[in-house]
Structure 1
Amino acid sequence: MSLDLVFLWHMHQPDYRNHDSGEHVLPWVYLHALKDYADMAAHLERHPAIRAVVNFVPVLVEQIEDYCRQFELGRFRDPLLRLLAEPDLDDLSTADRALLLNACFRSNHATMLTPFPRYQRLHDLYNLLDREGEVALHYLSGSYLADLVTWYHLVWCGESERRQHQLLAELMSKGEGYSLENRQQLLALIGRILQGLIPRYRALQERGQIELSATPQTHPLAPLLLDFQAARESLPEAPLPLAVEYPGGRTRVATQIEQGRQSHQRYFGAAPAGMWPAEGAISTPLLPLLAAGGCRWIASGQGVLRHSLRTQGIRDEQAPYHPWRCGAAPTLTLFFRDERLSDLIGFEYAKWHGRDAARHFVAQLEAIEAAAPEGATPVVSVILDGENAWEHYPYNAYYFFDDLYALLEQHPTIRTATYRELLDRDPPPAAATLPAITAGSWVFGTLSTWIGDADKNRAWDLLCSAKRSYDLVLSSGRLSAEERARAEAQLAICESSDWFWWFGDYNPQGAVASFDHLYRDNLRRLYRLLQIQPPPQLDVPISAGSESAQGGGAMRRVA
């Protein structure tokens, strides 16, 4: 008996750049790179017998490289990095002071603030003055702001980086009174970590430890670009946008797939063999486009498999534990996420002692192995974000991964693998056949997280209107080749799934407001690139609560 375990760690952030100014509106790309992408590479480097798939969304990699160029040139287009480098924090503008005070406590306080008494003291002092109003906050000096921006970056450094770099330990021990030299040293180290990130993952790939996969270029919700009616395959009564369809969706999906593959090859040296479609969202019409785009495999959510089997009247107790194929794309192999095991890591084990959680996880795998039919080798897919869960763990999940990977390295019958490795075996794991896919995603097996809510549907209608204008202008021939390319790149940004994910009353209004504003800014820029006056409805927040909400933070989402 044996079991093949595939970890797929999905690295994803949308495009946070204002492409007119070049400024990064939100800092989550470099902060997650510094903390989570660096740690995930380090865990694998410490445990060379562990195999895994690491999925990078191309627009994320482009932003990481953008940050690397900022460090090379010494000119920072991210406000937080610029303020970390600012020599005189006593003479900041009101806007810059407000930015530091609003941004530099934005984290999981239980694991990233409370454990550090000097940082906690900064927060206590802020709260004390904030109760007295804005005038009282002006008592906070440049020295306070220097300590604040330094601590914020220190707590966003990965646990593995803290153990490797003496500078981080020294600065955390110092605790306060950070000089300009201290901040410059920290800034330089952040630059080195970011600049080494993509080479580290390339090295892991080149030595065969990981498989690097991709997502279409800007993380579009492909089944909905192809057909809004896909939402009703799992939820027949789902309300839909006023627009009947997204214009030219099939061409846009094919283009996003191809651009994603080209971008991935440019950064990682080889085209990906497979893809995690955005949000694990798939549909029957999407599969041939992925196969035609060169994909040998894709992965999706177990809920999609469950709904597809129910629709087809198929019973298969081992359904999540072997590959599948679909008649619409017979060369494409489908793998499905084990919801329970993935969610244990994403949502539950953060509350456990790391070693207990690791042992429990391995015991669950052993139970799956024992329940398999004689002679069968189960394939278990554990798929989740490689970024958002870890800040809920003590020490950014350092001890959990150390214990888990060590147990798996030593296990006699559980083998970690990659999807490409499985397909290259002779013979590969046997795949069963589905006549069709019931469209859905990793979230509940439906598409309701991105469509069906009034605000989400309004966001789609605004995008459809912009796309119709885009098509008319391009068909007129009045744009140059360079102007067309800029407009197409901006359209791709507007097609990202993230804008639609954030709308809805289940998300914090401050965060919704940030993404609402950024989405409408992106649509306005698309109209300007088309040389059309943006319509006035883009001046009105999509979400009613966004009008008064300010700020915004990282929302926990674990795919």
Structure 2
Amino acid sequence: PFVDTKKNRVDAKKFLAAWEGKTDPWIDLALKPTKGFGEKELHLLLRNTWNAFGISEVQIARFPAYQRLKEKNAKKGAFTEQELRDVKFWFYLAHFDPDFLEQKVWLPDGTVVDLTDLVTKHADGTYHLTRTVTEEDCNRIVAETYKVCANVIPIHRKLMYDHVRRQGQIEVATTPFYHPILPLIFDSDLARICQPGDPMPERYAYPEDADAQVAMAVEFYTKTFGQPPLGMWPGEGSVAHEVVPIFRKNGIQWIATDEKILARSKPAGQPKFFPYEVDTSDVAVVFRETELSDKIGFTYQNFVGEDAADDFIKSILRYAPAAGEPDRLLTVILDGENAWEWYRRDNDAKEFLHALYRKLSKLYKSRQVVTVTMSEFIHGNPKRGVDAHPVESMKKLDWLYPGSWINANYDTWIGEQEENTAWNYLRTARMDLARSGVPQPDPKAPEPRSGTKKWYAYKTWEAMYAAEGSDWFWWYGTDQNAPAGDKPFDIAFITHLRNLYQFGRKAGGTFPDREFTPIITVKEEMVSRTAGGTMAQSRKDSVIVLFQCDARKIFVRRGIYITGNHELLGNWTPNAVRMYDDRTTGDEVANDSIYTLVLQVPAGVELEYKYTNSGPRGTWEGEEFPSRNRRLVVDGTVPRIVVSDVFGVMP
């Protein structure tokens, strides 16, 4: 009611009167006149843990004016009113897909997003404003954002595959409602199987909550998309044999997790390129091909798009079955919201994705590779020549190992002191709730009328379920740390627990007085913030290796290349894998003749490699030494290795 999509304007006065301080603060900042900003607004914009400069270094480098403002803020420089206006505007603009910045885009509801009058793209790929930002522009950018957001659900509904009518293109899976680590809600002692050496909190075992989390997700999905989900990605790929019946009870036909879980399940030694039925549950499980998935999530961020697509296709075709063998199903799963902003040589991975889909379409015509949704694979689609693979016909797993897609266990969420403290807090609150007299609501029932006792009971359990979510436990401990600090997640977790008691008393429940003190102290946060980032991988799965080759003492006509005994190094194809001297892919100084390449290398690999100088692809011209190879053991004990070599010099 506040947005005029034809005039691209928000009625700021009415919106702020109704919603100021009650929703996203960035909307308030954009709609408020910058001239009237006080300390509260300035803190949010510039100094808050999540301020206006929370953007990847790769992404912000494409907006030089925005980057200069970030650098000024880091030096605690004083901002003019116009600069503050620019900051809040850039925060929105820099997060738009490049398509919106470069051309008109028609959306499914008939609206159009066209930002080309505000921003222009230069030959070097950077974006620049075409005029001085005004308050009207800040208002408009909120309206443009609204139009994009308003079309997210409609475009997915339009493209969704219906396995009954055999129409559609994509399948939307879901996850347990508040994204809990479902097996730990079912019974936290399952972690003792996959983490036998870690200290554990007191047992948290509430199967009814695990069921409610799945049931609420199914209900919300059905209301949103007009059909129930068939598939579910359990939060962080966290599975256990014991929770599979919950999925089946709620109509879920397939789930997914990582190949490391398959390697530990029974019977042992099963190939990852088949789906399996868990026991006789009538639930299929597919296993993520880790290397393929991590190539998209990590490795290809340093590639040119076309080269990345070529490499991916080659990697897929390695799995092609021989004549007469059954179909194979490769499953690629990654954190899609994280990968693209880190693609250094390919803005938003546009070139890679377009090239990949083009190549896959060509391979589909020859029937070498057929892309499918899981429901299409299970139920079949004669229109596309996809045979049915009923769950009951799949190979059986006698036992599904408990763990997640990270380390094949749950140690990101349980086992460290902070994490265990949080679980004990959660257990205390859940036990108090069980004794309070506030009944557990039907997870499929609609929200009661606001202000009634039933509504407060509903809100009590909502706070409980939210506190069971995985995010708080993810950031506790030292294994994962937010770039801006973990404290906001600690505050959110404690707030959910406190809300439970406040709502519960208003619902007529009897609760003891509890004080849940913050788990993260300032000192602990300062120590932990050196330890990690937001894109998680298993510590034992892969290692970032930064190769540096010093070529300052030789003449380099065309470039320095690396080759070696791994596909990331070209499988000994010389002069094929280029290194860089242009401040990309980890290179610190452009044109200093120190060439760099960053790769995500599987742990447990012993690399042999060498460098070549400017030779034709596939020839050994320019080889640094013909009879010897360099060696590097990547054992997974450290997350990052820096290799500093001098061309032609063996240490």
TM-score interval, normalised by the smaller of the two chains: 0.7 to 0.9
Matched AA of 1:338: E
Paired with 1:391 and 1:352, the residues of 2 have a C-alpha distance of 14
1:362 Cα offset (Å): 0.5
What is the 5 A alignment of 1:104-123?
A: 104-109=52-57, 111-123=58-70
TM-score by length of 1: 0.78
Higher-RCO chain (CA-CA 8 Å, sequence separation at least 6) = 1
Match of 1:441 among 393, 404, 411: 404
**Match of 2:252?**
295
**Match of 1:10?**
none
Which has the higher Rg, Structure 1 or Structure 2?
A: 2
Match of 2:193 among 233, 240, 246: 233
**Match of 1:520?**
494
Secondary structure of 2:405 counterpart: coil
Asked if the contact 1:302/1:336 (under 8 Å) is kept, the reply is yes
Match of 2:475 among 494, 502, 519: 502
For the pair 1:322 / 2:268, whether they are aligned, the reply is no
Sort the Cα spacing of 1:182 and 1:533 in 2 relative to 1 into closer, same or farther, 3 A.
farther
**Match of 1:11?**
none
> Deviation per CA, 1:129-169, whole angstroms, max 9, x where unpaired?
x1xxxxxx5x3122111101111111111123323447423
1:476 Cα offset (Å): 8.3
What is the 5 A alignment of 1:424-435?
A: 424-425=379-380, 426-428=387-389, 430-435=393-398
Sort the Cα spacing of 1:179 and 1:295 in 2 relative to 1 into closer, same or farther, 3 A.
same
Match of 1:343 among 259, 281, 294: 294
TM-score by length of 2: 0.68
**Match of 1:91?**
36
For the pair 1:264 / 2:224, whether they are aligned, the reply is no
Asked if the contact 1:459/1:500 (under 8 Å) is kept, the reply is yes
Secondary structure of 1:237 counterpart: coil
Paired with 1:296 and 1:436, the residues of 2 have a C-alpha distance of 17
> Deviation per CA, 1:416-473, whole angstroms, max 9, x where unpaired?
1000001102541752111111101111211111111111111111111111111111
1:120 Cα offset (Å): 2.0
Q: Which has the higher helix share?
A: 1
For the pair 1:78 / 2:24, whether they are aligned, the reply is yes
Matched AA of 1:80: W
> Deviation per CA, 1:27-52, whole angstroms, max 9, x where unpaired?
xxxxxxxxxxxxxxxxxxxxxxxxxx
What is the 5 A alignment of 1:175-194?
A: 177-194=132-149
Paired with 1:107 and 1:368, the residues of 2 have a C-alpha distance of 37
For the pair 1:381 / 2:300, whether they are aligned, the reply is no
Secondary structure of 1:215 counterpart: coil
Matched AA of 1:325: E
Paired with 2:512 and 2:468, the residues of 1 have a C-alpha distance of 20
1:215 Cα offset (Å): 0.9
More moved, 424-433 vs 267-276: 424-433
> Deviation per CA, 1:346-401, whole angstroms, max 9, x where unpaired?
1111111111011100001111115x574221100001122011111142111111
Secondary structure of 1:213 counterpart: coil
Paired with 1:83 and 1:244, the residues of 2 have a C-alpha distance of 44
Asked if the contact 1:225/1:250 (under 8 Å) is kept, the reply is yes
Match of 1:221 among 174, 178, 181: 181
Superposed CA RMSD: 2.7
Paired with 1:465 and 1:542, the residues of 2 have a C-alpha distance of 21
For the pair 1:401 / 2:353, whether they are aligned, the reply is yes
Secondary structure of 1:511 counterpart: coil
For the pair 1:357 / 2:308, whether they are aligned, the reply is yes
Paired with 1:202 and 1:488, the residues of 2 have a C-alpha distance of 30
Asked if the contact 2:186/2:207 (under 8 Å) is kept, the reply is yes
Sort the Cα spacing of 1:511 and 1:556 in 2 relative to 1 into closer, same or farther, 3 A.
farther
Paired with 2:399 and 2:527, the residues of 1 have a C-alpha distance of 45
Sort the Cα spacing of 1:227 and 1:143 in 2 relative to 1 into closer, same or farther, 3 A.
same
Asked if the contact 1:513/1:545 (under 8 Å) is kept, the reply is no
More moved, 174-183 vs 412-421: 174-183
Secondary structure of 2:284 counterpart: strand
Asked if the contact 1:440/1:447 (under 8 Å) is kept, the reply is yes
Sort the Cα spacing of 1:118 and 1:537 in 2 relative to 1 into closer, same or farther, 3 A.
same
1:73 Cα offset (Å): 7.5
Paired with 2:80 and 2:199, the residues of 1 have a C-alpha distance of 52
Paired with 1:306 and 1:472, the residues of 2 have a C-alpha distance of 42
Sort the Cα spacing of 1:124 and 1:235 in 2 relative to 1 into closer, same or farther, 3 A.
closer
Sort the Cα spacing of 1:508 and 1:216 in 2 relative to 1 into closer, same or farther, 3 A.
closer
Secondary structure of 1:298 counterpart: strand
What is the 5 A alignment of 1:269-288?
A: 269-288=226-245
1:80 Cα offset (Å): 1.0
Same amino acid, percent of matched pairs = 27
Sort the Cα spacing of 1:443 and 1:539 in 2 relative to 1 into closer, same or farther, 3 A.
closer
Matched AA of 1:496: G
Asked if the contact 2:254/2:283 (under 8 Å) is kept, the reply is yes
What is the 5 A alignment of 1:5-20?
A: none
1:548 Cα offset (Å): 9.9
**Match of 2:150?**
195
Paired with 1:127 and 1:176, the residues of 2 have a C-alpha distance of 25
For the pair 1:535 / 2:514, whether they are aligned, the reply is yes
1:185 Cα offset (Å): 1.7
Paired with 1:157 and 1:244, the residues of 2 have a C-alpha distance of 45
Paired with 2:62 and 2:101, the residues of 1 have a C-alpha distance of 15
Asked if the contact 1:297/1:332 (under 8 Å) is kept, the reply is yes
Secondary structure of 2:66 counterpart: helix
